[in-house]
Structure 1
Amino acid sequence: MKKTYLLLFLLFTSFSFAQTHYDSDQFIVTLKDISSKTFDKDSTANALVIYESGKSFVGQGDYRLHTKFKHKIKILNKDGFDKATVKIYLYKTKSSSEKVKNILATSYNLVEGTNKVITRKLDKSNIYEEKYNDNYTIVKFTLPNVKVGSVITYSYETVSPFMFNYKSWHFQEDIPKLYSEYKTSIPANWIYNIKLIGYKPLDINTRDIEKNCLEGARGASSGCSLSHYAMKDIPAFIEEEYMTSDTNYKARIEYELKTFQGFDGVTHNYTKTWETVDDELRKDPNIGKQLSKSVDLPKLLPQTVYSIEDNLERAKSIYHYVQTHYTWNGDYKIFKDVDIKDLIKTKSGNVSEINILLHNLLKESNIDVKPVLISTRNNGFPTKIHPVISDFNYLIVQANINGKSYSLDATDKFLDFAELPFRCLNQHGRLLDFKKGSNWMDIKVENISKVFYNVDLKANDEFFSGSVQSKITGYHALNKRKDYFPNSQEYFDALEKRNENLEISNIEIDCEKETSSEFKESYDLEYFVENSGDNVYINPFLVTFFNENPFKLQERTYPIDFGYKDTYYYALKLNLNEKYELVEAPEDFKIVLPNNTGTIALSTKQVSNELIMTFRINFNKALYAQDYYPYLKKFMSKIVEIQNNSIVLLKKIG
């Protein structure tokens, strides 16, 4: 491949000044793009998009969707080499397919010790095509001569016959971007639902009208809506704990065809109303038809289950019977292969089969119930502005008893009545009512999940002895039950190995059944500490709530979603037993998150010959906006610091 040397001159800056600056205003590569070595705003970035643009329009004559792409990327380290391999996914059907043309790609490198630049262009023989699946083909190429410090550019154009699939634009990805823009031209014949996703606002958002941009037969023509969207200084999207699907948060624009009107005046509607969807679901063999099936209570349930007079207790009894006698096979199917007759026969089925059977049994026993379509946390939020049935992947049941609503899911044998799996805590669901019409409902956890520990210690000559008692509720208790009931011995072994300075004995678990709302545990312990002369240093936290700070990003552009509110409480009573005197203890303090949305409070005091310490953590919200991230990051850091570094200094007496 031929090598050419170029000398690139800059208008505004010298080589030395350009070490950490980039030209994000244009696709053309400049010397400062190549000579810059780092990206100060994100020292962890492997690569950086300096500039990228897209332009979509309908071609005159072929009436196909054309999209032109341009990308300029800086390779910052070896882990960024994967950005030099480009994959273009082309949609296809049996009768038609998308095409790509005009692929151009070039790598730029600085000759060490000079201002000269060497460029290498992509040879067309190194462009490959392969089948991805039945719906997509991949066109792939890798830029040549890529090194740490390289700048790469590539451009291409796609041509698509599928106007229903107007090109979406992803502003945010796994590397930072300095500038990303998308320009669109949409003829008035096509009307789309346009959705901006993510929490980063647009820096440019303009619209204009172009008259007679598209001509049809017999002198017909159409105007076009012109849009210009752009974002600047876009941080990399990096997944972190306490989030739902990344599809909820990555900044992008998506399109869904709503209406098409031909030049002959005929209109085709593609986006449906909820009234239409409700009617379709009512007739659907996997949803409405299954929900309407009658069930024989005496045949399917013991009389002791369905004959309970109290409505709530009867509902609980039926729920627990389905929960324990039918097994979820792990399949999330809700619109395919749903048949409660098969479930009744095999005792194993998918989400819809189990929860529709629960729905029908409750309905037959005169409980007011309705199905609810939801999307799980890892599946993304369902679209609310118009029906997109494919957004949903799960079905639960709402029971209305004595003026109160209960959300039910019988797929998990450890769930208490009205307790949903954590995977279902995804903000909203669509409540189906085939008589009055469906509507949106909030999926909220009303109760606070709690963790309480009480530690009672007494000083002896060589060690401290005492006991620990805990009471755990809500989702924390659910996790405990799932750890304990399948293998209690493994649970005990893990508990005994949790702290190498402790010897644990006489473990007792107070939890009657797998669905108990509380999990209580108690055990005796001996705490061995190292003496330093007459002094003893003790970390008073024999149990820690957070071993490390889960929040490590420089910037987080999406919310912190815990799923539920919770509180943690730790109380220590240390009896010095006239063997030690207190020299030093942690100082009292209190930290409050903005708007009183969370609290840390530590208190220590000495009463007679006892040290009493309490530590409380409150998260008063289940969902925190991304603006809270720097506060929560410091909040968590302080919690970890307190638990790991709090020291009580004692001195031996006599």
Structure 2
Amino acid sequence: MKITLFFYLFFLTLFSYSQEINYPFGKITFNDLNFKAHQIDATANAVVLYESGDTKFKLKDRYVIVETTFYFKIKIFNKEGFKHGTFSIPIFNNKSNSEEVINIKGITHNNNNTNKTNLSLNNVYTEQVNNNWKSVKFTMPNLKEECIIEVSYTVATPFKFNLTGWKFQSDIPKLISQYKALIPGNFTYNRRLSGYLKLHTNSSTVKKHCFSVPGYAGDANCEEVIYNMKNISAFIEEDYMTSRENFISNIKFELAQTLWFDGTKKRYTTTWDAVDREFKSDKNIGIQLKKIKYFEDILPSEIKNIPDSLDRAKAVYTFIQNHFTWNEKYGIFKNARVKEAFENRTGNVSEINISLINALKTAGLDAELVLMSTRNNGAPTKLYPIISDFNYVLAKVNLGNKFYLLDATQKLNPFGLLPFKCLNSYGRAMDFENESYWIDIVPTKNNKSSLYASLILNEDGTIEGKLRKVSTGYNALNKRIDYQSKNEDEIADQFENNFTSLIVKDYTLENQKDINKPLIEVFDVKMQYDDANKIYLNPFFGGAFKENPFKQENRLYPVNFGYLRRYVLNFSIELPDNYKIESVPQSQIINLTAKGGSFDLKSRKHEDYKLTLFSNLTIAKDIFNNNEYDSLKKLFEKTINAQKTPIVIKKVSTN
């Protein structure tokens, strides 16, 4: 989810730290020395007092080099903040060119600026990450509590497409963050501001005659842009979110066009029409989607002859799913060779799912390829095609007025149930006969965990009975993934270890490998207590959630569960004459607005011999906006408190 410019103002300026936004290196001010964490965030281990990036286009040996000078002034409050004294600078290279980091310098200021320790370049080293990326690393010296570090370096890149942009937000608060660039008119960039925080400065001015190249007549004007934010909150990651890149406040640049002094023009952005044409002839996508003839001889005739189209699609999916083993590679835009992959019975995401599309077409079904981005990769922009935004390929089969999205790389996923990583809002369906188009990725609704507990309390204070767990949808998938390398004894032991008084006498697991059916577990249990005069029994047997996943006072980005969820409990216990119920979890109903979810708990005593309890926690939306966060947090708080409340059973005299 990309947030447009000026979408939301997180908070008003807390205070005026300084009107000055250019700090000379090595100068520490009175405000720097006396700044305390509570002035912006009492929980902060460190704070960025000031940071800046300054980008200029320069000539080096008649080649255009983009140089960005970075400067950071950070105050570290405690030992937990020492990690912010370590820097890792990524640099890119290809076969012919490489970025470089120059002019590295750093100072650690201690003892109210009376003790300064300079960074030694002997402590700067380069680490090879892969064929195209290296990382220049160093740690500032003499880090102590309440120290201030200053770091400056310049990244020089020959890749004009790699205009760095700027991240205003990080995992520590910042007082001032500024990015400045002087961009020659020869280079046109698209710009995108993401996040929920508002720019304090958004300035654009023209500098006349600022860029020229020897050997070419004339010169170009430049656009000088300045963007800054002040009093920036730390970005806190929390459960149930997609990539932080979707929400962290930053500005990105994408090279759209270059216009050289000799009139040569080159466009880097494109249209979806052009992308469709390119993909149709691409050897890794379009050509591989024409291997239908190959699958005509491979797909069993009994599958092709299934009369019902949905049943036929399911059979094709199972055939491809069982044939392949995913090699854990994505390979979306390179090295896709369907025939070789099928013969080797292993392949990357593109090879497996393009094989699925071809096989579906062989079976007389309408199938298309879908480009998408996984949850940890961020959401692709819809403004214009940026193919690098996508990192995954799905199959789409159209059956009448309904369609199913499929991924055959996963052995445990039933038909139509995508891997959780693929639940990322939308994708681009590549219809090469007409035009590509956006489609929503809508997860299945039937994701339910049900616990049926039927127990008997004996006169000696022991409890015996059965626990039956039934899981469907993603709830079943998650358990199958957890259980695939365990036998029944190990699963029973895993469950038993969560309790001090419970013994699993017998355990059965049904439909573990029949992925199209609910996963059913039956525990034959016995509970015995050191003190049977007063028994504390949790009817939820651990509950669906151990603690509240929502801890922030305010969360500016959405809560994204990925899929709808439901957790149901049906509990009953029968009592002998020498025991009675002393207390039970309080009956309650909690509803979210707009039918977003609810928690329902009802208990009922059947005279003195039986207690029944029903509970239902429903998350009825997969995405909650940030203004719904507080009510969602309260729902979980009350649900977890109820699930932690035991049934109290007291022994009584029968005389």
Output the CA distance in 2 between the equivalents of 1:423 and 1:262.
Answer: 43
Name whichever of 600-609 and 280-289 sits farther off: 600-609
Normalising to structure 2: TM-score of the pair?
Answer: 0.88
Letter in 2 for 1:118: T
The equivalent residue for 2:642 is 642
Letter in 2 for 1:511: N
Note the C-alpha offset of 1:90: 4.3
The equivalent residue for 1:362 is 360
Of 107, 111, 116 in structure 2, the residue corresponding to residue 120 of structure 1 is 116
Given the alignment of the two structures, is residue 440 of structure 1 paired with residue 458 of structure 2, yes or no? no
Letter in 1 for 2:414: D
Given the alignment of the two structures, is residue 82 of structure 1 paired with residue 83 of structure 2, yes or no? yes
Output the CA distance in 2 between the equivalents of 1:135 and 1:292.
Answer: 32
Moved over 6 A (4+): 216-219
Contact 2:240–2:559 at 8 Å: present in 1 too? Answer: yes
The residue correspondences of 1:68-147 to structure 2 (distance < 5 A) are 68-93=69-94, 95-98=96-99, 100-110=101-111, 117-120=113-116, 122=118, 125-126=121-122, 128=124, 130=126, 132=128, 134-135=131-132, 140-147=137-144
The equivalent residue for 2:379 is 381
Of 241, 244, 251 in structure 2, the residue corresponding to residue 243 of structure 1 is 241
Note the C-alpha offset of 1:369: 0.5
Given the alignment of the two structures, is residue 191 of structure 1 paired with residue 192 of structure 2, yes or no? no
Output the CA distance in 2 between the equivalents of 1:295 and 1:434.
Answer: 18
Distance 1:601 1:201, change over 3 A: farther
Note the C-alpha offset of 1:459: 2.3
The equivalent residue for 1:466 is 465
Identify unmatched segments of 5+ residues in structure 1.
1-19, 112-116
SS at match of 2:380: coil
Output the CA distance in 2 between the equivalents of 1:556 and 1:614.
Answer: 32
The equivalent residue for 1:539 is 538
The equivalent residue for 2:391 is 393
Note the C-alpha offset of 1:333: 1.3
Of 167, 173, 183 in structure 1, the residue corresponding to residue 164 of structure 2 is 167
Over residues 149-174 of structure 1, what are the superposed CA-to-partner deviations in whole Å (9 max), with x where a residue is unaligned? 11122334444443222121111223
Name whichever of 639-648 and 559-568 sits farther off: 639-648
SS at match of 1:295: helix
Identify unmatched segments of 5+ residues in structure 2.
1-14
The equivalent residue for 1:33 is 32
Note the C-alpha offset of 1:74: 0.2
The equivalent residue for 2:521 is 521
Given the alignment of the two structures, is residue 342 of structure 1 paired with residue 340 of structure 2, yes or no? yes
The residue correspondences of 1:444-523 to structure 2 (distance < 5 A) are 444-461=442-459, 462-484=461-483, 486-489=485-488, 490-511=490-511, 513-523=513-523
Distance 1:639 1:150, change over 3 A: same
SS at match of 2:126: strand
Over residues 255-286 of structure 1, what are the superposed CA-to-partner deviations in whole Å (9 max), with x where a residue is unaligned? 11001112333211111222112111111111
Identity %: 38
Output the CA distance in 2 between the equivalents of 1:653 and 1:579.
Answer: 6
Output the CA distance in 2 between the equivalents of 1:164 and 1:297.
Answer: 41
Distance 1:460 1:414, change over 3 A: same
The residue correspondences of 1:213-252 to structure 2 (distance < 5 A) are 213-215=210-212, 220-252=218-250
The equivalent residue for 1:617 is 617
Normalising to structure 1: TM-score of the pair?
Answer: 0.88
Output the CA distance in 1 between the equivalents of 2:44 and 2:512.
Answer: 51
Over residues 212-270 of structure 1, what are the superposed CA-to-partner deviations in whole Å (9 max), with x where a residue is unaligned? 44456777343333332222232333433222233333321111100111233321111
Letter in 1 for 2:144: K
Note the C-alpha offset of 1:457: 2.1
Letter in 1 for 2:171: D
Contact 1:21–1:33 at 8 Å: present in 2 too? Answer: no
Output the CA distance in 2 between the equivalents of 1:406 and 1:138.
Answer: 42
Given the alignment of the two structures, is residue 154 of structure 1 paired with residue 151 of structure 2, yes or no? yes
Distance 1:187 1:21, change over 3 A: closer
Output the CA distance in 1 between the equivalents of 2:184 and 2:20.
Answer: 28
SS at match of 1:237: coil
Given the alignment of the two structures, is residue 205 of structure 1 paired with residue 206 of structure 2, yes or no? no
Note the C-alpha offset of 1:120: 1.9
SS at match of 2:293: coil
Contact 2:217–2:261 at 8 Å: present in 1 too? Answer: no
Given the alignment of the two structures, is residue 599 of structure 1 paired with residue 598 of structure 2, yes or no? yes
Contact 2:292–2:361 at 8 Å: present in 1 too? Answer: no
Of 250, 257, 260 in structure 2, the residue corresponding to residue 259 of structure 1 is 257
Over residues 610-644 of structure 1, what are the superposed CA-to-partner deviations in whole Å (9 max), with x where a residue is unaligned? 22222221112112233444443333333332222
Output the CA distance in 1 between the equivalents of 2:258 and 2:375.
Answer: 34
Note the C-alpha offset of 1:570: 1.2
The two structures, once aligned, show a CA RMSD in angstroms of 2.9
Letter in 2 for 1:521: E
Output the CA distance in 2 between the equivalents of 1:491 and 1:126.
Answer: 53
Contact 2:370–2:427 at 8 Å: present in 1 too? Answer: yes
Over residues 522-569 of structure 1, what are the superposed CA-to-partner deviations in whole Å (9 max), with x where a residue is unaligned? 333223245475x44333322421122333445544332211011111
Contact 1:98–1:159 at 8 Å: present in 2 too? Answer: yes
Contact 1:22–1:36 at 8 Å: present in 2 too? Answer: no
Letter in 2 for 1:206: S
Contact 2:375–2:421 at 8 Å: present in 1 too? Answer: yes
**Number of residue pairs aligned between Structure 1 and Structure 2:** 629
SS at match of 2:566: strand
Contact 2:127–2:137 at 8 Å: present in 1 too? Answer: no
Note the C-alpha offset of 1:360: 0.9
SS at match of 2:284: coil
Distance 1:24 1:328, change over 3 A: farther
Output the CA distance in 1 between the equivalents of 2:39 and 2:639.
Answer: 29
Note the C-alpha offset of 1:71: 1.6
Name whichever of 322-331 and 229-238 sits farther off: 229-238
Note the C-alpha offset of 1:337: 2.1
Output the CA distance in 2 between the equivalents of 1:23 and 1:78.
Answer: 27
Letter in 1 for 2:639: I
Distance 1:331 1:155, change over 3 A: closer
Contact 2:45–2:76 at 8 Å: present in 1 too? Answer: yes
Output the CA distance in 2 between the equivalents of 1:421 and 1:282.
Answer: 27
Output the CA distance in 2 between the equivalents of 1:395 and 1:326.
Answer: 16
SS at match of 1:334: coil
Note the C-alpha offset of 1:352: 1.6
SS at match of 2:297: helix
Contact 2:176–2:230 at 8 Å: present in 1 too? Answer: yes
Distance 1:310 1:157, change over 3 A: closer
Contact 1:459–1:579 at 8 Å: present in 2 too? Answer: no
Output the CA distance in 2 between the equivalents of 1:179 and 1:246.
Answer: 21
Name whichever of 245-254 and 419-428 sits farther off: 245-254
Distance 1:97 1:421, change over 3 A: closer
SS at match of 1:338: coil
Letter in 2 for 1:615: S
Output the CA distance in 1 between the equivalents of 2:509 and 2:125.
Answer: 61
